[in-house]
Amino acid sequence: MFCSNGQNETEPKERPPGNFVSVFGAKLHYVDAGSGPVVVLLHGLADDVGVWESVMPALAAKHRVIALDQIGFGRSDKPLLGYRVATFVDFLDGFLNELKIDRASLVGNSLGGWVAASFALTHPERIDRLVLCDAAGYAAVTKTMDPRAFSALRLANREDIRYLGPLTFHDKRFYEDVDLVLKQRVTAGDNYTINQFLDSMIRGEDVLDGRLGRIHKPTLIVWGREDKLIPLNFAERFHKEITGSRLEVIDNCGHMPQVECADRFNHPLLKFFGDEQ
């Protein structure tokens, strides 16, 4: 959502080109590393595969790890669709089909967590494990969010970035270079996607309320204690409603632990996937 490489740099970091696959006539960009059981990483609103740079090497030691630029974001195509969570779920399903992946574990942050949970509800037979990191999806997220904060999610100007930064990150280094962030927002070209999706949130489409009891896959919930965008009480609600789920809270960390607190995020993640005892 901000410095997509998780660093406070004067210029965005160049990344390898990755791979592309056609899904429903649109090109989706992804990065693929390692071998073994498949883990798919799903970024949040206004993000891309770069937010997983510190996660992929750790997981790739024993897994095939795929970070996907969801349709409408990153280097993936940005068709003029009515973006909603159901759209991202359909494209994720098509993406797995094109890569001939029958089953996978999903790790999703924010919007990506909402997509992961919705995919698990829609296609339970395709899910091994589920990790929800500071996930959206409850109707109350929209209804209780400060209206100025919700408006700032559009990231349309410097003031939006200044307002949203402290709500998203505990460490100000991740948002203090406002002009760099605005440059990244302009070059990302995903404003249409963001606006369409936020309108879908306002309409209350695809919310998870009353549905999570149907998830019976091993689930890890990871949350930054200082997340001021989607507060910790939502983590506790996910934990209560998904039977047998585990909850890990990371202190002194905000809405994107995989970026801001990568080592402390990776530890419970690897333990959950059986890579650490």
CATH number at residue 172: 3.40.50.1820
Q: What is the pLDDT of residues 104-138, one digit of tens each?
A: 999 999 999 999 999 999 999 999 999 999 999 99
The answer as to whether 9 is a domain residue is no
DSSP per-residue codes, 227-264? -SSS-HHHHHHHHHHSTT-EEEEETT--S-HHHHTHHH
The answer as to whether 211 is a domain residue is yes
Number of independent structural domains in the chain: 1
The parent domain of residue 167 ranges over: 19-272
Q: Among 43, 35, 42, which residue's Cα sits nearest to residue 60? A: 35
Banded pLDDT at 55 (limits 50, 70, 90):
very high
Report the predicted TM-score, pTM, of the whole model to 2 decimal places.
0.95
Angle at 191 between CA 56 and CA 254, to 5 degrees: 45
Query: Can you name the residues that pair with 64 across neighbouring β-strands?
Result: 38
The answer as to whether 206 is a domain residue is yes
Banded pLDDT at 15 (limits 50, 70, 90):
low
The answer as to whether 8 is a domain residue is no
The answer as to whether 4 is a domain residue is no
The answer as to whether 7 is a domain residue is no
The answer as to whether 31 is a domain residue is yes
Mean pLDDT of the chain: 94
pLDDT greater than 80 at residue 252? yes
The answer as to whether 127 is a domain residue is yes
| Spatial separation of the C-alpha atoms in residues 9 and 70, rounded to whole Å | 25
Banded pLDDT at 5 (limits 50, 70, 90):
very low
Q: What is the pLDDT of residues 58-97, one digit of tens each?
A: 999 999 999 999 999 999 999 999 999 999 999 999 999 9
